[in-house]
Amino acid sequence: MPTARWNAPRLTRLVVLAIGLAATVWIGSRTPREQHVRVVLGSAASDVTDMELQYVDLEGDLVRDARMHFEPGRVPRVVTHEPSLANGDYQLRIELGMRDARRSTERRVTLSGGTTSVDVTSVLGAP
C-alpha cells in the first residue's frame, strides 16, 4: 500500500502563494478607488446654494472633503460626487447652504465601489 509523502518544496510554494494572495487582497481593499456618492436633494434642490461634504473615517480623521457652489435655482435634484477613497465605512457630514439658512446632517455610509445614495430631503424640509 503506497504511503502519502509530503513534498516539502511543493508545500512551501503553496504557503508562499497563499500568503502573497492574502497580502494582495488586503492591500487592494485599502487602495483608494473612485466611489460614486449621490446626494438626493429632491424638490427643495432649488433652494440650495452650496454644499460641503466631509468623509470621516472610523478613527475620526477627515480623509476627504469637497465644496460645491451652485447658481440659484440651477441645482440638480441629485448631486453626484466621486471621491477617491478606499472601500469601507465612513461618517459623511453634509452641510447645505440654502437661501434662508444653513442645514447639516451626518450619515454613516459604506463605500464598496458601487453607487451609494444619501437622501437628505428630510433635512431640507422637502416633501
Q: Are 94 and 52 in contact (CB under 8 A)?
A: yes
Confidence of residue 1 (pLDDT cuts 50, 70, 90): low
Q: Which residues 6+ apart lie within 8 Å of 34 measured at CB?
A: 82, 83, 84
pTM of the model: 0.76
- 58-105 residue pLDDT tens: 999 999 999 999 998 889 999 999 999 999 999 999 999 998 889 999
* Rounded alpha-carbon distances, angstroms, from residue 95 to 15, 37, 98, 99, 104: 50, 15, 10, 13, 4
How much of the chain exceeds pLDDT 70, in percent? Answer: 86
Return the pLDDT at 27.
59
Backbone angles phi, psi at 122, to 5 degrees: -70, -30
Instruction: Using the structure block, give the residue that is written with the C-alpha cell 447645505.
Output: 96
